[in-house]
Chains A and B, each alone.
Chain A
Amino acid sequence: MRPATRKWMFVLVAISLAYAASLRVAPMNELREAHQLVLPPLPKKVSSSALLTPLLALGRAPLVDYLWLRATKLKDEGRIFDAYQLAQWICELQPKFPSVWAFQGWNMAYNISVTQKSAEERWRWVRNGYELIRDKGIPLNPNNTQLYRELAWILFHKVGDLLDEWQGYYKLQFALQMQDILGPPPEGYERAGRLAGDYYRSYDFERLASSPQKLVDLLRDPEVAAFANKLDTFGYDVRQNSVYLGLIASLADNTLEVRGTTGNRKEDQLVALKAAINDPASKPAQQKLDNFWRAWRVRNELKMDLAKIVEMNKTFGLILDYRLPESHALYWSVLGVEKGRGTRLNYDIHQLNTRRLEFFCLQKMFHRGRIAMSRDSKAGEPPLMQPDIRVAKVLFDAFVRDSEQFEKKKNEGPISQNFITGFVGFARTAILRYHELGMNKEAQEFFDYLNRYYPDRMYERGLSGFLEEQFREDKKLYDYRTSLARIEAMIFRALLHYAYDEDEEAVRFLKRAKELYDTYQRTVASPRLRYTFTFAQTIEQVVHERAGQLSRASYENVCRKLNLAPLTEGSTIPINLPTSQPMETPEEQAAREKANAELQKSGAP
């Protein structure tokens, strides 16, 4: 064979082999995907690290070491001006090392944050911590449950729990950010029996989820395009992020301005702009724009999938209030468990912990998941957290479901042996809460369940007997000082609820305070020990005395609701309860104890 022929033959063989090999690429890629050996496509925002990694293949290790040393040294010196950036670089140089992301996020949220003096500084570091994991770590490691768990834990524990002394500020900022993203309740939303907070507890996420994901798709809608063009003439390009939502906010607080004009023309233009916005014909377009930009913020700022939120709400049978960090923690936990499914690990501790977190979130949401924002929240007044009765059923189902899943040995009742103490405590609290809210059917259902599966002597006298037992403390007769302190504490809780517009709850507390007051006055042994002031005077005294614990706006809100004149700063309280509190003689004490015993025996409500 001639050399030239042989050469061409080799070329032909090479081409044939290359072609044959190329036919296997697609099946091989499918196999890689099936066996989770393929990297997910990188989001644009984090793709720089993907470039950095191969580029730094040679010098990456010493560079990472240097960055770790520098980060540690600067932290020890209390200089943290580049801690966030260093953490990012360290992580981006090892993007597929989830423990590094988890550590850096945790380090910022827990270690660096506590070195800061002010609440705002601390909050920034807590945010830096969870945002690093959420915005950068998870997109690069979307199937790693550990990162979801770490993110959920920071949200649940650092932001949502009570451990940190500035947790009130964190909760406030978190809720404010969410309110800003989800938008205020529409005009006229608040009315009797419906609070502003209910808007977020029944938020229509489906509306946002169905909104187009791309602006071009939205602008294909002729109504939207026409409205956007119209606003262009007033200097508002609503195709730009935050312009439309800013415009609506300005309109709401009456600070709307027209751009690009001056003088008299400005006034005319302003009137025209307002007319354009208030034109009923433009309302559908406005709604679409509103949906689009809010959905855009949820997807881009919170990195959350609206379809998943809707799906979760359907699964739980409850619209989660996303102003709560626990709701976010629950979202990321659920997602983490889902994404981690199908891994080859026989026993994944991160999955187990993430499942536990779901459970913790529901528990916390039951105990303090009803968030009420102060009218002065923007000035820094922390939110009021109360039990959310809506979660009781969901938590109950979770107890039953998780018992089935985690129980290795079947017990007598439907609840796992590990959960029984927690479950019984929860169920009893739920019964009391249902009863307080007048939801007696639900209270009875819970009571029957408890009585059937976990019988106790306290259930023998039925639901009413059980409730009496639970409110025994309220019936007890205390001495002058203790009773007054309890009444005042109850009144203050009522005031707090009035301040946060939770009027129904406030009335309940006032009623309980009144009952305590009446019980004392009625049963006190000696007339000498009776209160010489009325219940109304006590309320007035507490309102003015505790005004310092509320913001000025909240204090005035309370005064308005109770028909009291708010005091100006520096003025004295008009009513003064007696400062000297009479002491009981031994005979009076004995008489009180006797009366107490009789009261308890009679079981009178």
Chain B
Amino acid sequence: MTYDENRLFLIMLGFGLFMGLVTLLYVIKQAFGRDGGEVGGWEIRGAPGRIFAIARTTLAEGLRAKVGAGFAAIIFIAIPIFYFTAEGDGTIKGRVQMFLSYSMGFSGFVIGVLTIMFSCRSLSVEIASKQIFGIASKPVPRWQIVAGKWVGVMSLNVALLTVSTIAAYAGTQGVIKRFKNQLTGELESYGGLTPVQAATTVAALEDVHGIGRQGVQSPIVDAFAKSLGRTPDQVADLLLRLPEGTRMNLRRFDELRRHVIACRAALKAELPDFAPEIRAQVDKLKKSGEIPEGWTESKLLQNFKAAVIGQFCTIPPGPQNARQWKFKGPRPIKGKNVIMSIRFKLDAPGYVPPQEVRGEQLPENTLLCFWGFGDSAKADYAETGEPYPVNSFFELEMPSECVEDDGTIVISFANMDPRRQSVSMDLANKGLEVLYHTGTFEEGVVQAALAILIPVACLASFGVCASTFLSFPVGTLIVMTLFIVASSMGFVADALAATKDYAGANMTLEWEIRRFTVDAIGWVLAIGDLDSVSELIEGRAVGWAALWSNTWKFVLLKGTAVFVLAVLVLRRRELATVIV
């Protein structure tokens, strides 16, 4: 960015801040001014009953106004459309992932929009039509009115989300069922099985357990062999008669079982504490007086930290540069059906050309690496190595036996590629994780749905607050804008050149201001930081801890703050002019 662009940015930022301040002062003046209206109490006795009554009328009003029905119709038309049109990448796994992603994601989005519209009209329409007199003239504290409105909005949300989640879950099962029906048909037509045999074979898919394997060793082949009373080789011959697409779909179905229709927790590789090392390097530089001109200590620390972490995460070729990480997980459940895996992304700069080594072809854009699982001194230690793709995520299953009794998992890695290319893993950003099954898919779906409710609850607070002093269209427009900005903060940061990519070697003051601005906007507008749908389609559990942490941050803390603001505004708002 040039100097002139920076100056323009700063001028626009200053102008924006000024306008924001003026707006805020106006709102405060309107809310707390001399003509601000009556003051209510904070009475708690009898609150649940009154809140419930207001919630009920709010819900009834919403249903009467057809807002809820309209949005529900959108969701319930969209989900069947997704069901019938979802193709994903053409495989059963992609189809399920796409259906889940679109149905849950779309439901979440529509419920978010509904929340904005419903909550923004909750009080504003009543005030405008003077229906509020009916409640305001009764001894109901203002906070109970606001709380009642919020509960009313959330009741509709919960009801809609419950039904749409059930529909998404049922749809997922339906997509799988459709695949099984297709497989049954192909086993009959291409495989020459009788309908009974084909049905029994497909039913055997339910009995498939354990980690995935290639070819005849696949647990699917094993399950089919048992159900048909044939040998694995005979089953392999049978499968070879199916179309290639179906065979691949069977393998994807097995992946679906292990990686999508699952509820897995993830352990991230933890970085060691580099602080003392970084501090020592900074002190050394200070002593020698070699600090570059204009560099502050914090900038020095940041640079050293990036360099040290980068070095730690980069693995040069050769066994002498092997790395080892320890993960601390819960006590393991051992057994042959327990599925554990590591998920990693090998970052390699540029193109890695193919190479032939002792008659074996190392494909392009892969690196020959070895992974070790467990303590190499123990009998349970396992090792595997092959060329892994670079610059894309890869999941590798590992034996659960290598987990220590206290839950410690030791993972070793060696870059043995003869092309002498260094490789790095972004450990801070899920560059290496251990995944293990913690519950059922249903549990994962419930957690994902609850995670969708968190931003919705926060949005409802914003909407109800806006409806205390803004008209329905203005309130909707503002909260909708905030919602869109909050949902696209990554894009905003990129557009304002406030991401790390734009920092350059020397972080300028302008960049710091931009970053601070974007961070501040992000912090104020954030309504949740869980990407539950992405987690769900990768078979990951959102996690009760993450759910609680988000609820605490965005519902109990931010939502309550907005709620209190709404109550204060409503208490000061003049609902009717006194005419003497």
Q: How far is the CA of A117 from the CA of B140 in the complex (A)?
A: 65
Question: Which of A82, A116, A173, A242 makes the CB contact (< 8 A) with B244?
Answer: A173
Q: Are A82 and B94 in contact (CB under 8 A)?
A: yes
Q: B91 contacts the other chain (Cβ, under 8 Å)?
A: yes
A259-B195 CB under 8 A given contacts A81-B89, A176-B244, A378-B240:
yes
| Chain A positions within 8 Å of B94 at CB level | 80-82, 84
Q: Are B363 and A257 in contact (CB under 8 A)?
A: no
Q: A83 contacts the other chain (Cβ, under 8 Å)?
A: yes
- Contacting B at CB under 8 A, from A232-285, are 235, 242-243, 246, 249-250, 253, 255-260
Residue of A nearest to B192 (CB): A250
Question: Which of A124, A176, A257, A379 makes the CB contact (< 8 A) with B89?
Answer: A124
Q: How far is the CB of B482 from chain A (nearest CB, A)?
A: 19
Q: Are A78 and B98 in contact (CB under 8 A)?
A: no
| Chain B positions within 8 Å of A165 at CB level | 354, 361, 363-364
Q: B189 contacts the other chain (Cβ, under 8 Å)?
A: yes
Q: B392 contacts the other chain (Cβ, under 8 Å)?
A: yes
Question: Which of A81, A125, A246 makes the CB contact (< 8 A) with B190?
Answer: A246
Q: How far is the CB of A243 from chain B (nearest CB, A)?
A: 6
Q: B365 contacts the other chain (Cβ, under 8 Å)?
A: yes
Q: B415 contacts the other chain (Cβ, under 8 Å)?
A: no
Q: Are A259 and B93 in contact (CB under 8 A)?
A: no
| Chain A positions within 8 Å of B101 at CB level | 81-82
- Contacting B at CB under 8 A, from A149-185, are 165, 173, 176-177, 180
Question: Which of B192, B241, B345 makes the CB contact (< 8 A) with A256?
Answer: B192
Residue of A nearest to B345 (CB): A78
Q: Are B190 and A253 in contact (CB under 8 A)?
A: no
Q: How far is the CB of A70 from chain B (nearest CB, A)?
A: 11
Q: Are B192 and A82 in contact (CB under 8 A)?
A: no
Q: Are B189 and A243 in contact (CB under 8 A)?
A: yes
Q: Are A379 and B240 in contact (CB under 8 A)?
A: yes
Q: Are A257 and B192 in contact (CB under 8 A)?
A: yes
| Chain A positions within 8 Å of B238 at CB level | 255
- Contacting B at CB under 8 A, from A77-94, are 78, 80-85, 88
| Chain B positions within 8 Å of A84 at CB level | 87-90, 94
Q: How many CB-defined contacts (below 8 Å) exist between A and B?
A: 95
Produce 1/0 per residue, B86-105, CB < 8 A to A.
11111101100110011000
Residue of B nearest to A254 (CB): B192
Q: How far is the CB of B463 from chain A (nearest CB, A)?
A: 24
| Chain A positions within 8 Å of B191 at CB level | 255
Residue of A nearest to B236 (CB): A379
Residue of B nearest to A117 (CB): B389
Q: Are B392 and A85 in contact (CB under 8 A)?
A: no
Produce 1/0 per residue, B119-145, CB < 8 A to A.
000000000000000000000000000
A177-B363 CB under 8 A given contacts A124-B90, A246-B190:
no
| Chain B positions within 8 Å of A180 at CB level | 243
Q: How far is the CB of A58 from chain B (nearest CB, A)?
A: 16
Q: Are B354 and A259 in contact (CB under 8 A)?
A: no
Q: Are A85 and B98 in contact (CB under 8 A)?
A: yes
- Contacting B at CB under 8 A, from A286-330, are none
| Chain A positions within 8 Å of B90 at CB level | 84, 124, 128
Q: A114 contacts the other chain (Cβ, under 8 Å)?
A: yes
Q: A518 contacts the other chain (Cβ, under 8 Å)?
A: no
Q: A473 contacts the other chain (Cβ, under 8 Å)?
A: no
Q: Are B244 and A259 in contact (CB under 8 A)?
A: no
Q: B194 contacts the other chain (Cβ, under 8 Å)?
A: yes
Residue of B nearest to A86 (CB): B98
Produce 1/0 per residue, B498-521, CB < 8 A to A.
000000000000000000000000
Q: How far is the CB of A203 from chain B (nearest CB, A)?
A: 21
Q: Are B97 and A82 in contact (CB under 8 A)?
A: yes
Residue of A nearest to B362 (CB): A165
Produce 1/0 per residue, B354-388, CB < 8 A to A.
10000001011110000000000000000000001
Q: Are B93 and A249 in contact (CB under 8 A)?
A: no
Q: Are B537 and A249 in contact (CB under 8 A)?
A: no
Q: How far is the CA of A128 from the CA of B193 in the complex (A)?
A: 30
Question: Which of A81, A115, A235, A260 makes the CB contact (< 8 A) with B389?
Answer: A115
Q: How far is the CA of A123 from the CA of B345 in the complex (A)?
A: 22
Q: Are B392 and A88 in contact (CB under 8 A)?
A: no
Q: Are A115 and B89 in contact (CB under 8 A)?
A: no
A124-B248 CB under 8 A given contacts A82-B89, A82-B94, A253-B241:
yes
| Chain A positions within 8 Å of B87 at CB level | 84-85, 88
Produce 1/0 per residue, A355-374, CB < 8 A to B.
00000000000000000000
| Chain A positions within 8 Å of B389 at CB level | 115-117
Q: Are A246 and B192 in contact (CB under 8 A)?
A: yes
Q: A33 contacts the other chain (Cβ, under 8 Å)?
A: no
Q: Are B192 and A249 in contact (CB under 8 A)?
A: yes
Q: B197 contacts the other chain (Cβ, under 8 Å)?
A: yes
Residue of B nearest to A125 (CB): B89
Q: How far is the CA of A84 from the CA of B85 in the complex (A)?
A: 12
Q: How far is the CA of A431 from the CA of B266 in the complex (A)?
A: 65
Produce 1/0 per residue, B239-251, CB < 8 A to A.
0110111001001
Question: Which of B189, B197, B363, B388 makes the CB contact (< 8 A) with A242?
Answer: B189
Produce 1/0 per residue, A460-493, CB < 8 A to B.
0000000000000000000000000000000000
Identify 15 new A-B residue pairs, CB closer than 8 A, beyond the known A81-B97, A117-B394, A124-B245. A78-B391, A78-B392, A78-B393, A81-B93, A81-B94, A81-B98, A81-B101, A82-B97, A85-B88, A85-B98, A114-B365, A117-B388, A165-B354, A242-B190, A258-B194
Q: What are 23 A-to-B residue pairs whose CB atoms are below 8 Å? A: A78-B392, A82-B97, A84-B88, A84-B90, A84-B94, A88-B87, A114-B364, A117-B389, A117-B394, A120-B248, A124-B90, A165-B354, A165-B364, A177-B244, A180-B243, A242-B190, A253-B241, A255-B191, A257-B193, A257-B197, A258-B194, A259-B188, A260-B194
Chain A contacts to B: CB under 8 angstroms: 78, 80-85, 88, 114-117, 120-121, 123-125, 128, 165, 173, 176-177, 180, 235, 242-243, 246, 249-250, 253, 255-260, 378-379
